[in-house]
Amino acid sequence: MFSNKHPFLFFILMFITVSATFFISFILIIGFTVKSITNSDPLKQITGEKVGVIEVNGIINDSDRIIEDIKNFRDNNLIKAIVLRINSPGGGVGASQEIYTAVKKTADIKPVIASFASIAASGGYYIAAGATGITANPGTITGSIGVIIGYTNFQKLLEKIGLKSVVIKSGEYKDAGSPVREMTYKEKIFLENFIKNIHSQFIDAVAKGRNIERVKVEEIADGRIYSGQEALKLKLIDKIGSLEDATEWAGRKGDIKGKIETVYADNRDKFSFIKNITQQIQNRLISSIFSDTTPNIGYLYNGVR
């Protein structure tokens, strides 16, 4: 038995497992509690024409809430335009693509202006590419048009503590990227080709959404980041401006006369601090757990921010 041969290591592993389980449960409970408290519907209180603001914060792991918010604003006749306020390094490929599709569809009906905060990179940029227009601050971190896949290999650690993985698979590539063994050359080529295909989809979305020649996008889509100022020169954004500027732009494009008033997709006045903190912890926790144990592909910028 592993516990008899290595009692100290067994104790450490058990302690980490129990602690992690408790911590995750605690954070999820708080998150769901805050969500239920703040689940008021601001659309029911709308009077007069307004700009709807949807906030996208942190790692994009799930698209359901954002897409629902986009749809609600799209279907409401009093919402004349939408601002997508993005502060995200990106995230999952599927989630980013789904949000991009919803943004693109909505932009055909009413103006959608993406407003970049501190960072809107990789998947954070992807979801904005389908908007009517994009604004950013001069120092916003954006771009990072690329795909990344990574995981931690535990083979040496398992060998030291006396554990061996046993895998029975139906095909050669079924466990490609396994964290418990070295990757073969054929698997490496297979995953590289897979990445190229996903990257090509990103390039297509930017070229179509921003109306830039595909070859031009290919030249700048090597994963590097750009400042908002650089992005403007490359036509990745349309204007340098703040959230207020984006809101004003959206409202005028939506033919709102006079003062531009906004309504947020969620009630940010109640427990907003707690809500944002718990959301960020959940995002970081989920991302770190899955990225370390399984091959995790994403439109995600992992650099400094």
Catalytic residues: 122, 174
Whether the CB-CB separation of 293 and 152 falls below 8 Å is answered with yes
| Angle between helices 93-107 and 64-75 in degrees, nearest 10 | 10
DSSP readout, 118-174?
Answer: EEEETHHHHTTTTSSEEEE-TT-EEE----EEE----HHHHHHHT-------SSTTT
Phi, psi at residue 87, to the nearest 5°?
-140, 75
Q: Copy the structure tokens of residue 148.
A: 């990344």
Long-range (24+ apart) CB contacts under 8 A made by 170-176 are 176/295
Q: Within 13 Å and on the Cβ side, how many CA atoms surround 231?
A: 32
Q: Copy the structure tokens of residue 232.
A: 């403007």
CA dist 19 → 16, 25, 133, 175, 180 (Å):
5, 10, 46, 29, 24
Class of residue 228 by CB neighbours under 10 A (exposed 0-12, middle 13-18, buried 19+): buried
User: Hey, what amino acid is at 215?
Assistant: V
Q: What angle do CA 173, 178, 179 make, to 5 degrees?
A: 170
